Amino acid sequence: MNNEEIKKHYHSYINQIKDEIDPVILKMRRQKGEKWAGLAWKGPLKQFAGYAKHFKVVSAIKWTAIPIIGQALVVIASWYTKIPLWLTILVSLAVLFLVYFIYVQLYINKMATLNTKEFHVEALKAKRPAEYALWNTYLQIDDFTFSDLYQFMNSYLIPYKDGSVESVLSYSMGREEALEETIQEQGDRITEYERAVEGLVDDLDTADSAIGYLVQLITDVNTNLYRFTNGVLDFYDLRFVTPFTIYEVDGNILRKLKDVGTSGGSLPEIDMSIPQEKEYAAVTAAKSGDPYGAYVSNPYPGRAVVAFPMKMLEQKRWIWCFHFDQSDERALSLVLSNDIIESRQIRRLVHTFCLILQKSMDLEKEATHDGTEQAN
């Protein structure tokens, strides 16, 4: 077989596969001998954290558990105390472990699959020994690559016009230029990888914060469920997101019902028929015909108010107003930016608790009225 046939059948083929196979071989060498079981159990956590960017942490999840909690709160309250707490905790932990174990098994399958970002050679060795045995032949020589083999063949297959020193020098200069271009390409690739790593670190930091916000929200909701079950839930318990005010719509008048955690500077009564130089978010929400909208105003630099309307019992309408500083990342994530869950679900959760409290207030009024009539 002459040089032209070798170049056609082998040399060009090696050139085609070297860029695909060499990265796999190099990754296998780096991972060989590493422990992989711990990575498999941690892997799903990193996947969950990665969701923070691509569907805004947790907003793309559209956390449907919140509306389910909201709509079922009243029903839950009736039987909530009938289930032993230890049984609830035990069953919950068992379900969580089972779900997470399934995720781990799926993650291990990815670790044992070539060309996935989760790939690990030790997982391939443990789960697919036959496939690993084939690739292991390339790992026996520490510095072997198909790129080196390709360059080695180049040195023998290059066509010389003669055996002169000038011809050898000309070839060497060409080789030097090619190596310089390769070094530059590798440098650019390393720079891209460094940027990608920095982006991943930022994503992990964001995900850690988002998970912390979400855990705190679940804790607060669970506490309020206990307080409702024990008959002590009140409006002060609803400050699990930000300080707030509540207005009741009465024709063109907004009357303040509650003010919790704010500076107390909001107006006790607003006449919506009087033009304002800068309209309040509560007024905009009251005038709007959108029952699911949220409206933002900035009473002064760095401060934000987000208001939304709520349809209450007995044909009443309330306006809820979140008050927070624009530097409050947790409030921004929950109320405006949808970073953790869809902000509309937070508003639905607040609405549900308000309905529960309104109903409790009405029952107290009825009980007081009935007691007065009996006394008379």
Average pLDDT of adjacent 10-residue blocks, the chain of 376 residues? 51 66 76 79 72 50 49 50 69 78 83 80 82 75 68 59 49 68 83 82 73 85 91 92 95 94 89 86 90 88 94 94 92 78 87 93 78 64
Q: How far apart are CA 334 and CA 37, in angstroms?
A: 35
Q: How far apart are CA 27 and CA 24, in angstroms?
A: 5
- Residue 309 is predicted with a pLDDT of 95
CB atoms within 10 A of CB 123: 24
Q: How far apart are CA 133 and CA 117, in angstroms?
A: 21
CB atoms within 10 A of CB 9: 10
**In the numeric block, which tokens belong to residue 242?**
């930000």
**SS3 call for 307:** strand
The letter for the amino acid at 245 is T
**SS3 call for 289:** coil
- Residue 160 is predicted with a pLDDT of 46
Q: How far apart are CA 11 and CA 150, in angstroms?
A: 7
